[in-house]
Amino acid sequence: MPNKVYVINKHGRPLMPCSPAKARHLLDAGKAKVKKRTPFTIQLVYGSSGYTQEVILGVDAGSKTIGMSVSTTKEELLSAEVKPRNDVVDLLSTRREFRRARRNCKTRYRKPRFDNRVRSKHKGWLAPSVEVKIQEHITAIRRVCGILPVSKVVVETAEFDLHLLKAIADGKPVPQGEDYQKGEMYGHYNVRQYVLWRDDYTCQCCGAHATKKKEVRLHVHHLESRKVGGDAPDNQVTLCESCHEKLHKGLIAEKDFKKRKRKSTRDATFMGIMRKTLMQRLCSELPIPVIETRGYITKATREKLLVLPKSHTNDALAIAQGKQGFNVGYLPGIVQINKIYTIRPVRHHNRQLHKATILKGGIRKSNQVGKYVFGYCLFDKVQFNGQDCFIWGRRTTGIFTIKTINGKMIKDGISFKKLKPVEKSTSYLIA
């Protein structure tokens, strides 16, 4: 499906998107004006009835990539991937080093006063690395709701449920809730998804895994019978369909399996920390319903109903079309959008006045240049040889460093005379 042009009325309220041809007609007739270039959005200058359809936003929340998809029952209206910032921990560490170095000077002794710590004064305080990602989730959802008439938001907060896994491993009763009252297979799919993720979606016998050119069907095998060993993750292993059949036929043995390594659950733990806070803030700040779902339910919807390959945007589409969304059944023919936007929040202002390393002569050189250099600012979108890129570094001489939105180097040391301005920088890079 060709790309959509997003429309807002003269009062700033989002309407249903239109085709590029319709947008050109409105612009040529003077009935609309360009509001935003990426994603291309127009604003009507005349009154409109404001007719909208039911639109659901699916959000695949994550610590490294956020998948977003807005769709109706028939077509997808927007697809995007957000790359949250992961440099907050390093920045805080650098700040801590500078602070300790400053306080190690010959100054009076100051007794630490732990009552003044932030976590003791502010109830509900979260670590900055968690807080910034929660804010990026909320900001990304708000930006989408600003250009599309979203009627409901469905958020996947975790790929699997760690509490349920722990309860199964310890032999405790399964946690009760809406997600676990739809049949016993929901718990099975939860553990199955964790086992596949733990084994890196790779057969633990022959090492086969799915690629873009090769499709491999993976099974989860119980080392001991379910009656004896149960559904604990340690009793399950990932095998391809061929090795699974050979195992049951006695052609291979369990000694042929690779030694499994315990995979870090850092990202899953992070999502567990932010899940409650994220849902509470979304429900309180958004005027539309916000519903929570799980990753193993998303996978079942994507594979069984939509028949789509694995990706963050496809997962987001499955979230919108799943049991918490439209839930319209088998939909292999849903029309997907061609353009997948990449959104990346960036740091615009470096508060470090001087470089950390002392140069020759013991003089600390300034770490900053002016905000504007020959009319260009940091992270401005420019064109070089017909390719859209961003300014990632600048010098007072007018020599810039340009990269793609993913950080791929295009040119290190290009004159501003060879660049064509496209769009001024904002807090979010969109391409």
**Distance set, CA 4 to CA 57, 279, 413, 430 (Å):** 16, 29, 36, 16
Query: Looking at residues 265-287, what average pLDDT do you find?
Result: 82
> Which amino acid, one-letter code, is at 188?
H
Which pLDDT belongs to residue 163?
A: 56
Strand-pairing partners, residue 320, are none
Dump pLDDT digits (tens) for 327-363: 765 555 788 898 999 999 988 777 677 766 676 676 7
Is domain 53-85+128-159+266-341 given the CATH code 3.40.5.90 in the classification?
Answer: no
Q: Report pLDDT digits (tens) over 283-313.
A: 999 999 999 888 878 888 888 888 888 899 9
Strand partners, 403: 390, 409
Most confident of 26-40, 118-132, 179-193, 293-307: 26-40
Lowest-confidence region among 30-39, 248-257, 337-346: 248-257
Q: At 181, is the pLDDT very low, low, confident or very high (cuts 50, 70, 90)?
A: very low
**Do 159 and 197 touch, CB atoms closer than 8 A?**
yes
N residues, the chain? 431
Question: Of 172, 165, 311, 179, nearest to 234 (Cα)?
Answer: 165
Q: Phi, psi at residue 268, to the nearest 5°?
A: -65, -40
Residues 52-103: tens digit of each pLDDT: 889 999 999 988 899 999 999 889 999 999 999 888 888 888 888 877 777 7
CATH topology (fold) of 346-430: SH3 type barrels. (2.30.30)
